Structure formats: C-alpha cells, structure tokens
Amino acid sequence: MSPHLVCIGGEDHRLRIPFLLAMREKGFRVTAVSSDAGAAFSLHGIPHRRFGFDRFSSGGGEWGALGTVRKLMSELRPDIVQSFDTKPNLLTPLAVRGQVPVIRTINGLGWTFSSLEPRALALRPVFCALQGLASLWTAMTVFQNRDDQAFFERYRLVGNGKARLIRSSGIDLDAFSTARYRGPSAATMREELGLQSAEVVIFVGRLTRQKGIPTLLKAVPRILSERPNARFVLVGPQDSEGPFAVNKSDIERYAPHVIALGSRRDVPALLGMADLFAFPTQYREGIPRVLLEAGLSGLPIVASRMPGCNDVVEDGWNGYLVAPRDAEGFASRIIEILSDRARGKIMGGRSVGLVRERFSLSWVVDQYCELYKTVLGGSGSLARSAPATMMEERARNPRLGEARQ
C-alpha cells in the first residue's frame, strides 16, 4: 500500500499543488491540509481538509488550532507529515508529538525577523523558544536557503532531528512555458494596459510594506527623471493584507506611471511583457517563487539583499542586489539596466539557465522523495515501513501511543 503523505500549510498552500501531484506520481497517497478553502485541490483530485488560524495574529488565540491539527492527524492516519509556513511548522510537531514523523520546511522566517517594529523584536525570543520546542518532535528540518539554516544551527533550533538544504519549493518548467505559450502575446498585454512603447518594470507579490512597496514607490520619481517612459506594474493582492497592506492612496498618487492590477491569473503573460523585475522585499523568505518565475521569463532582476534573494540573484551577473529600504540604490540599478537593454537581455538569459538547472520542480521533488524514504526507513522502496506499522498498532491499541509519549 502506498505511504500516506499529509502536507500541511497556510492559505497559499494551493501553490504547492504541482508538488503534491508530482509526489502522487512518485507513489505517495497525498492529502492536503491548509487554511485555504480547498476548491483548487478538488479540481486536481487531491483530498483537502481545512483548519483555520489567523496569520496576522501574534497572540495565543491561534493555538486553539493545535487541537484541530491533532484531531485531523488522528482521522487521516498519515505515514509521514510535511509542514510548510511559520505557524503550521510550529503547530504540527506540537500537535503530533512524535506519533508520526514530521518534516518541517522553513520557507523563510517571516514577519518576526523581517520587521523592526518593537513588537516583532520582542517576539523573536518567543519564536526561537517555540521553534526549539517544536524541534523535539521533528524528524527532519528542511531549509530553502543557507541563511536560515545557519540561523537555526547557530541557535540550536534544529534539535535532535537532522537538517537538509533543498532550495525552493520548485517550479514546474513545462507548466510555466505552456502558460506563457497559451497566454496573450507581449504586444497584446501592453496594448491592453496602455503600455505599448513603455519601459515596463514589474513587481509580483503581496502589496505590503514588508514586500518593500514603499521603497519602490519612493524610487519612482528618480527613475522617471532619467527614464521618463518607464512604467511600473504592481501585481498582487492588497485588500486581503490587513494591517500590512500599503494604502491605495500611496499608490494612486503616482498614477498613471504606477499601475496596480491586483491579483491576476495570467502572471506568466504579464512577466513576458516586462523589461525588468523589481523585488524590493524586506521580508525574510525561503526562496521567493516570483524570482524563479521572473528568471524563467528571462528578466533581469533588481532585488533586495535578503536571505533567499541572494540564492537566486548573483549581483552583477543576472541582476543586482540592493540593501533593503534603499530607494536610491534601487533607482540607480533600475536606471542602469533600462539604459543598457542589451546587457539586461544577457542578464535575463543567465537567469533562465540558472532556474532550469537549480530550481526545477522535478529536481526538488526527487530530493524530497529521497528524504521521505530515508525518514520512513526505506531503502528505495515505497512500501509501507515501520512508522506506518506503528500507526496501525496504535489505532488498534490506543494505550500504546500513550506509553510512547
């Protein structure tokens, strides 16, 4: 019987559907658990269970989700659990408490280690304590970038489990290429948005302060002073971002030079019409998926010198890295690329090769598949292993589970 993989994450968990489908092809029976509504999973025949938590809350209210996760795991009876995102990474090991192997993937350190607000600074020791506690019931901790791995190892937050570096959640090269091919042409997209002859700088992501939108907006006047034909296209949600969202008035004051499109389903086509990708994030991410999409689109990238970004962008080779919050630095580098389009094309071409070589979904899935086999005690076979048998024994004899705690 195929081992049962339960993959748990937050509201963007649907972005991992290609990962789950690939795992299913590898022989795993997969179930998704997330705070997403679940319709996208149903379209692909992936069972989905919902649990709720507030990603904006830093209080103790979300810990009521512990009981929900514990109940779900009891009902789903997984052989192995994979968690993504900050709160699921904390809740899952604490809920399961070693009864099932848990792999947690640290895809960034989140707002707590990105913001300089006093509340964020005060929460950092709490975060470290909780991660250390969660590590006691974690079979393996996966990191998406070397900076996060170094942080966890420095503060001994890996615990008794082992650490593994698997860069990014992977990008489906064929699916992205197909979406580009089937979508509108660059000329059509430009005409639709009134950008026919413009130099297009694009950003894709949540329109929040942590993503550096204020930094990019601050750079706009300087860029326009030297490149008056430049236009800035912002793609991503805003209304759903609660207290972190950038005010609409702050964006609208730069109209018509700055256009906010909201969430879009045609991101590959939008990237295809652009000349440059700007990513002024202040957020500690794993490997930003949008950088992989921009790279695969052949765009030169100007990004913040932040963990994860420096795993994709090599300064001066396929783009530039600028200190976060440095609007003047971002303006200078954007102007430099727009002023030398030939060099920008060379940079973008390098990114295409880099993404294909290091961040393809197939490569990432192979690494996770091998990791799961190791944790399950297999030696290349996907047959049910000792941990699965133990789960069946606990189902027949609940007191066995109590004795192991």
Tokens at residue 329, please?
Answer: 């630095």
Q: What is the mean pLDDT of residues 58-72?
A: 75
What pLDDT does 63 receive?
65
Stretch among 137-141, 317-321, 323-327, 382-386 having the lowest mean pLDDT? 382-386
Q: What is the mean pLDDT of residues 136-155?
A: 95
Q: What single-letter DSSP state applies at residue 117?
A: S
Residue 365, CA atoms < 13 Å, CB-side half-sphere: 19
What pLDDT does 59 receive?
53
Whether the per-residue pLDDT at 382 is higher than 70: the answer is: no
Question: CA angle, corner 31, sides to 25 and 32, nearest 5?
Answer: 115
Q: What is the mean pLDDT of residues 234-244?
A: 83
What pLDDT does 116 receive?
84
- Give me the chain's average pLDDT, please: 89
Query: 241 near 206, Cβ under 8 Å?
Result: yes
Q: What is the mean pLDDT of residues 70-78?
A: 95
Report the C-alpha gap between 67 and 74 in whole angstroms: 11
Q: Please give the span between the terminal C-alpha atoms of the chain, in angstroms, as a whole number.
A: 27
Q: What single-letter DSSP state applies at residue 245?
A: B
At residue 84, φ and ψ (nearest 5 deg) are -130, 160
Whether the per-residue pLDDT at 275 is higher than 90: the answer is: yes
Q: Report residue 159's pLDDT band, with 50, 70 and 90 as the boundaries.
A: confident
Q: Report residue 234's pLDDT band, with 50, 70 and 90 as the boundaries.
A: very high
Q: What is the mean pLDDT of residues 174-189?
A: 94
What pLDDT does 402 receive?
37
Whether the per-residue pLDDT at 280 is higher than 80: the answer is: yes
At residue 148, φ and ψ (nearest 5 deg) are -65, -40
Q: What is the mean pLDDT of residues 141-168?
A: 93
Q: What is the mean pLDDT of residues 299-325?
A: 97
What pLDDT does 60 receive?
54
* 208-232 tens-digit pLDDT: 999 999 999 999 999 999 999 999 9
* 28-62 tens-digit pLDDT: 999 999 988 889 999 999 999 998 765 555 555 56
Whether the per-residue pLDDT at 99 is higher than 80: the answer is: yes
| Distances, alpha carbon 254 to alpha carbons 45, 102, 234, 248, 250, in Å | 44, 47, 12, 11, 8
pTM above 0.95, yes or no: no
What pLDDT does 112 receive?
87
What pLDDT does 394 receive?
38
Stretch among 53-67, 90-104, 132-146, 319-333 having the lowest mean pLDDT? 53-67
What pLDDT does 392 receive?
39
Q: What is the mean pLDDT of residues 172-197?
A: 95
